[in-house]
């Protein structure tokens, strides 16, 4: 059960990466269809300061093709492209090597965040938006304040602020977002273990701790619940992992296969 007393929240990682090309509209539509509570996705900022949904700061050599079908064989920062230029790439024709059951959707583009917001507008699904940032590479993203302003402006323009969570490993972005949108729910992403989780989430202004699922413990979950912070680990894909996380008392699970997790949770 969650800290709020409700059921475990199911978050579709990059939509439903196990079944469809990641971070694409078909993946998000599938996750909604099978009943995911939340769509988890990643955003970068283009040259013309538009928010585009993609995991990597570079156009993926592994997953995307040039418009003419040729392989991407050089580093192309998304920040160096306009939205229109970035959306010329085909990111639905190559199957992820780790997910052989993916259904390919040739011609699928990296969507603008605005397109995802429009997709979910008439549903009840929530969004968990990760602001991607590499602090040592200032050429790949705007400043934390500028990044936060762009995300908040997009959510407010779509009247979706109340249905969104903003998460990041770069907690400077979370603090900047809190300063301009204090009601926006924030999630502090964490790669490895951390000695003082309470101080970390407070400094980030976060109401959710989102750690690597392999690094979370029952004591951490208990300590977070004691200060009213929910725990939603990433990215767990097997029944053994889900069983362990349920025993720890987490509030939600981010998974590449939301349909399988929903089926696993139903009898419980």
Q: Please report the domains of the chain, with CATH numbers, ordered by start residue.
A: 9-57+110-265 (3.20.20.190)
What pLDDT, on the 0 to 100 scale, is given for residue 224? 98
What pLDDT, on the 0 to 100 scale, is given for residue 6? 57
Q: Tens digits of per-residue pLDDT, 212-228?
A: 999 999 999 999 999 99
User: Mean pLDDT throughout 167-194?
Assistant: 96
What pLDDT, on the 0 to 100 scale, is given for residue 179? 98
What pLDDT, on the 0 to 100 scale, is given for residue 194? 85
User: Mean pLDDT throughout 17-26?
Assistant: 98
Average pLDDT in the chain: 96
What pLDDT, on the 0 to 100 scale, is given for residue 1? 36
Q: Which percentage of the chain shows pLDDT scores above 90?
A: 96
Regarding pTM above 0.85, the answer is yes
What pLDDT, on the 0 to 100 scale, is given for residue 268? 82
- CA-based torsion, 90, 19, 41, 57: positive or negative: negative
How many residues are there in the chain? 268
Q: Tens digits of per-residue pLDDT, 89-144?
A: 999 999 999 999 999 999 999 999 999 999 999 999 999 999 999 999 999 999 99
Q: Tens digits of per-residue pLDDT, 30-63?
A: 999 999 999 999 999 999 999 999 999 999 999 9
Q: Tens digits of per-residue pLDDT, 182-219?
A: 999 999 999 988 889 999 999 999 999 999 999 999 99
Q: Is residue 173's pLDDT more than 60?
A: yes
> Is residue 2 very low, low, confident or very high in pLDDT (cuts 50, 70, 90)?
very low
């Amino acid at each position: 059960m969650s800290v709020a007393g409700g059921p475990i929240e199911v978050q579709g990682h990059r939509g439903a990466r196990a079944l469809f090309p990641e971070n694409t509209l078909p993946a998000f539509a599938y996750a909604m269809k099978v009943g995911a509570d939340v769509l988890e996705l990643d955003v970068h900022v283009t040259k013309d300061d538009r928010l585009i949904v993609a995991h990597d700061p570079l156009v993926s050599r592994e997953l995307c093709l040039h418009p003419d079908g040729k392989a991407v064989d050089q580093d192309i920062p998304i920040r160096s492209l306009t939205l229109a230029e970035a959306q010329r790439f085909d990111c639905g024709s190559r199957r992820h090597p780790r997910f052989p059951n993916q259904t390919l959707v040739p011609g699928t583009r990296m969507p603008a965040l605005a397109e995802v917001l429009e997709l979910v507008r008439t549903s009840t699904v929530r969004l968990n938006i990760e602001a991607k940032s590499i602090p040592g590479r200032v050429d790949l993203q705007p400043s934390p304040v500028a990044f936060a302003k762009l995300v908040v402006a997009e959510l407010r323009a779509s009247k979706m602020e109340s249905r969104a969570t903003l998460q990041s490993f770069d907690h400077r972005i979370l603090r900047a977002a809190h300063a301009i949108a204090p009601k926006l729910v924030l999630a502090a992403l964490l790669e490895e273990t951390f000695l003082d989780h309470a101080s970390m989430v407070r400094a980030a202004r976060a109401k959710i701790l989102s750690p690597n699922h392999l690094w979370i413990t029952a004591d951490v979950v208990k300590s977070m619940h004691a200060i009213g912070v929910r725990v939603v680990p990433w990215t767990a894909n097997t029944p053994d992992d889900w069983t362990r996380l349920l025993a720890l008392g987490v509030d939600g699970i981010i998974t590449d296969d939301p349909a399988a997790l929903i089926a696993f949770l139903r009898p419980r």
